């Protein structure tokens, strides 16, 4: 019988990670590279492994990840979010500790672009509208 594979998608900023968890010995593969090869910074590696520390399941699952978009920090956060969602599929009781640690909800922190029209409106002084007024017979403007 084939092993059960749990898949989930994690998102952070502009990064998206597709995570597959299956019972194993703790092997982690990210875009066909090991965790140490893919993330040079110890901080990013620590972020990826946080859900296993919270649920005390380190080394119990093999992880395959396909991640794209954003930078290193966003990708690490997206992978953490995907691992969290997959762990909750494996055991719904993991939801409470993962939620308390703040891993359950994907962050929507993303800066939006400002429209050029809004920028132009902010830079226009209020008195400019008086230029387009026509004289009223009583001698007043507008």
Q: What is the pLDDT of residue 114?
A: 62
Residue extents of the structural domains in the chain? 6-100
- How far is residue 101 from each of residues 31, 47, 88, 128, measured CA to CA in Å? 27, 12, 14, 53
Low-confidence ranges of the chain (pLDDT < 70): 1-2, 106-142
6-100 topology per CATH = Ribosomal Protein S5; domain 2 (3.30.230)
pTM, 2 dp: 0.74
pLDDT digits (tens, 9 = 90+) for 54-89: 999 999 999 999 999 999 999 999 999 999 999 999
Spatial CB neighbours of 110, under 8 Å, sequence gap ≥ 6: 13, 14
Q: What is the pLDDT of residue 17?
A: 95
């Amino acid at each position: 019988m084939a092993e059960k594979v749990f898949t989930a998608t994690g998102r952070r900023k502009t990064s998206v990670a597709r995570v597959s968890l299956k019972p194993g010995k703790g092997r982690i593969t990210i875009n066909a590279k090991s965790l140490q090869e893919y993330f040079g910074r110890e901080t990013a590696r620590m972020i990826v492994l946080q859900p296993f520390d919270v649920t005390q399941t380190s080394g119990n699952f093999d992880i395959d990840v396909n991640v794209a978009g954003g930078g290193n920090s966003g990708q690490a956060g997206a992978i953490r979010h995907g691992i969290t969602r997959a762990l909750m599929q494996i055991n719904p009781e993991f939801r409470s500790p993962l939620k308390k640690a703040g891993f359950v909800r994907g962050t929507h922190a993303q800066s939006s672009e400002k429209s050029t029209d809004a920028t132009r409106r902010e830079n226009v002084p209020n008195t400019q509208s008086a230029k387009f007024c026509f004289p009223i017979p009583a001698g007043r403007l507008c």
